[in-house]
Copies of this chain bind each other. A is one copy, B any other.
Amino acid sequence: MATTPQWIMVGGDGPESYSQHSSYQRALWETAKEKMNEAISAKLSLDLISDRFCVADFGCASGPNTFVAVQNIIDAVEDKYRKETGQNPAENIEFQVLFNDFSTNDFNTLFQALPPGRRYYSAGVPGSFFGRVLPKHSFHIGVISYAFHFTSKNPKGITDRDSPLWNKDVHCTGFNEAVKKAYLDQYSADTKNLLDARAEELVPGGLMLILGSGLRDGVKISETAKGIMMDFIGASLNDLAQQGVIEQDKVDSFSTPLYVAEEGELRQIIKENGKFTIEAFEDIIHPNEELPSDPKILAVSFRASFGAFLSAYFGEDTMTKVFELVEVKARKEFSKIQNAKPGMQYLIVLRKN
């Protein structure tokens, strides 16, 4: 699954694009780091920092972004410990990082890319994060980076042409109320399972840090730049079907197993689940900085996020063609994208009750 952040490059087309795109990545992580540091400094109980401290990344993919995320957390824990005890964390704390993703994730690549000189023990934890993957009380801080919008599957009926819920589009434009409700119900059930599992695996008082992409209340995904881009992906697939490059049926039965939730929906799900208290829920970047300011880089960004998923379904060639068309559409309608309603890049800090 594409568990890399929305705006982060994983497959590029030329060093220039990459380097341009890369500045978004750095800016995002720099701000996220600051916010995570603040959250850990203010919300993590010092009692939890003892001789052994475990950090877990759920939906880690195969690197390298996970290494940045977990190092940020370890740095923040060490800072807090140093400031509040006056002692050297390197002498007193052994860190362990648990890297979780599906058992089909490329753990070989992850393990071989582990940063040299890291000051933590590593373990890979295979399995779907919608269920239990660790024994009780296994970790102190968990992180989910841009993977909190996934559902375990497409809602029932969504890809079935005979269903009243049939959503012809990849995700957005045809997103009527019934379809939206089907997605939200699926997302709500899956996310509650995810929270139940993490609540058992976390030590009492432990924190979950959730970085992700969401919507402000009342904003439809199709009104945001992200939604417009996803519709371009859908439209490009339909273009290719009309050209006979791929089959229309295959396009019609394709849907993305994710739901970009509104802030109020996220708060409601967490509240109904009841296992965690929301300690913070904040924007990590200003909406103006949310998107690359160039259609090409924008297309590259979305290929980074959705390319692997499309490749798996339609093949590499079709995926490449899709994003060529997406770039053309993005260029043509760039003012629409620039005037779209803002999305939201959030950090949610949860403390286990």
A313 close to B (CB within 8 Å): no
Q: List 24 A-B contacts (CB under 8 A).
A: A51-B136, A52-B135, A52-B136, A52-B137, A54-B135, A94-B135, A94-B136, A96-B134, A96-B135, A103-B112, A104-B112, A106-B108, A107-B108, A111-B124, A121-B133, A121-B135, A122-B125, A122-B126, A122-B127, A123-B123, A123-B125, A123-B134, A124-B124, A124-B125
> With A107-B108, A111-B103 in contact, do A123 and B121 touch (Cβ < 8 Å)?
no
B residues less than 8 Å from A52 (CB atoms): 135-137
**Bound CA span A22–B96, Å:** 39
Q: Which of A96, A127, A135 has the most CB of B within 10 A?
A: A135
Cβ B136 vs Cβ A123 within 8 A? no
Partner of A126, one of B51, B96, B104, B111: B111
Q: Mark A51-88, 1 if CB is under 8 A from B, else 0.
A: 11010000000000000000000000000000000000
B residues less than 8 Å from A98 (CB atoms): 123
Min distance, Cβ A216 to any Cβ of chain B, angstroms:
38
Q: State the oligomeric state as a number of copies.
A: 2
> With A107-B107, A108-B107, A108-B108 in contact, do A114 and B126 touch (Cβ < 8 Å)?
yes
Can you add 18 more A-B contacts, CB < 8 Å, to A104-B112, A122-B127? A54-B135, A98-B123, A103-B111, A103-B114, A106-B108, A107-B107, A107-B108, A107-B124, A111-B124, A111-B126, A121-B132, A121-B133, A121-B134, A122-B125, A123-B124, A123-B125, A123-B126, A124-B126
B residues less than 8 Å from A123 (CB atoms): 98, 123-126, 134
B residues less than 8 Å from A125 (CB atoms): 121-124
Min distance, Cβ A94 to any Cβ of chain B, angstroms:
4
**Bound CA span A127–B52, Å:** 19
3 tightest A-B contacts by CB? A111-B126, A124-B124, A123-B123
Q: Mark A20-33, 1 if CB is under 8 A from B, else 0.
A: 00000000000000
B residues less than 8 Å from A124 (CB atoms): 107, 111, 123-126
**Bound CA span A127–B96, Å:** 13
**Bound CA span A163–B321, Å:** 61
User: What residues of chain A have their CB less than 8 Å away from a CB belonging to chain B?
Assistant: 51-52, 54, 94-96, 98, 103-104, 106-108, 111-112, 114, 121-127, 132-137
Min distance, Cβ A276 to any Cβ of chain B, angstroms:
21
**Bound CA span A135–B138, Å:** 12
- Whose C-beta in chain B lies nearest to the C-beta of A102? B111
B residues less than 8 Å from A114 (CB atoms): 103, 126
B residues less than 8 Å from A103 (CB atoms): 111-112, 114
B residues less than 8 Å from A134 (CB atoms): 96, 121, 123
- Whose C-beta in chain B lies nearest to the C-beta of A134? B121
B residues less than 8 Å from A94 (CB atoms): 135-136
B residues less than 8 Å from A104 (CB atoms): 112
Cβ A111 vs Cβ B121 within 8 A? no
